[in-house]
């Protein structure tokens, strides 16, 4: 039984004991038993918002279920939600978010409303901890369902962790960074995370070339479809 169910059961037992009950018939937790596959991205987002599959549901301030154009040619995947994103409920918050926004607008020449941005893990972990493997396992179906709904021409992963979780390749980020990879039915380009660039400004020129690769990939995919 999930830890969330245990918590709800315990709360109900204490409540009943407080009003004098010594025995009650079995009761069910207010949780779905039959899960249907969502038919739209909005239904999927609602499932993410109300998710209780892992312990992050106990500490989160909200779930962040993705933002932007649901038919975007470009989908950007970050690994985890930052403190400033969580506190502001904004996907482009803080210096890292502003850097990403500048990449999109000033180099790719797209508006943030034209791309779709999401996180691999949908709730912020406690303090600055990295998400656990079980927390990622709970979110994994959500992420791949988002990819299926959006059907982007190009996927960009931000940093080594996002690339590893999406592809299952945890060892070759430096070798594939900036390259166009065939991933399922999509083109995938791994790049350095904006936060990493802020800490290592000497990598910005290299990332500029990676963004030009992404722009070229988007253009070639559009011509191919035309």
User: pLDDT (tens digit, 9 = 90+) per residue, 189-216?
Assistant: 999 999 999 999 999 999 999 999 999 9
Return the structure tokens found at 11.
């709360």
> Rounded to whole angstroms, how far apart are CA atoms 48 and 52?
9
pLDDT of 225: 57
pLDDT of residue 130: 85
pLDDT of 173-193, one tens digit each?
999 999 999 999 999 999 999
CB 9 within 8 A of CB 59: no
Q: How many residues does the chain have?
A: 226
User: What share of the chain has pLDDT > 70, as a percent?
Assistant: 81
Is residue 98 within 8 Å of 92, Cβ to Cβ?
A: yes
Instruction: Give the span between the Cα atoms of 44 and 52, in whole angstroms.
Output: 14
3-state secondary structure of 41: helix
Label residue 33 by pLDDT band (50, 70, 90): very low
pLDDT value, residue 21: 55
Q: Does the pLDDT value for residue 60 go beyond 80?
A: yes
Task: Give the mean model confidence (pLDDT) for residues 63-67.
Answer: 94
Place of tokens 């990939």: 217
Q: Are 131 and 122 in contact (CB under 8 A)?
A: no
In the chain the domains, ranked by start, together with CATH numbers, are: 62-225 (3.40.470.10)
pLDDT given for residue 175 in this prediction: 97
Nearest to 77 by CA among 207, 202, 164: 164
């Amino acid at each position: 039984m999930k830890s969330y169910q245990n918590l709800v059961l315990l709360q109900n037992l204490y409540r009943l004991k407080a009003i004098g009950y010594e025995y009650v018939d079995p009761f069910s937790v207010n949780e779905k038993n039959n899960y249907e596959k969502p038919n739209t991205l909005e239904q999927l987002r609602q499932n993410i918002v109300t998710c209780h599959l892992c312990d992050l549901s106990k500490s989160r301030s909200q779930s962040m279920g993705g933002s932007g154009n649901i038919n975007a040619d470009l989908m950007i995947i970050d690994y985890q939600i930052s403190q400033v994103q969580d506190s502001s409920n904004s996907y482009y918050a803080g210096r890292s978010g502003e850097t990403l926004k500048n990449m999109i607008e000033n180099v790719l020449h797209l508006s943030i409303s034209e791309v779709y941005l999401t996180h691999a893990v949908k709730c912020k972990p406690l303090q600055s901890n990295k998400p656990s493997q079980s927390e990622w396992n709970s979110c994994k179906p959500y992420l791949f369902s988002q990819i299926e709904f959006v059907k982007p021409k190009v996927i960009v992963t931000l940093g080594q962790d996002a690339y590893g979780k999406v592809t299952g390749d945890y060892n070759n980020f430096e070798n594939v960074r900036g390259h166009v990879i065939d991933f399922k039915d999509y083109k995938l380009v791994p790049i350095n995370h904006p936060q990493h660039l802020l800490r290592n400004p000497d990598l910005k020129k290299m990332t500029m070339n990676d963004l030009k690769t992404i722009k070229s990939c988007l253009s070639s995919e559009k011509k191919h479809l035309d």
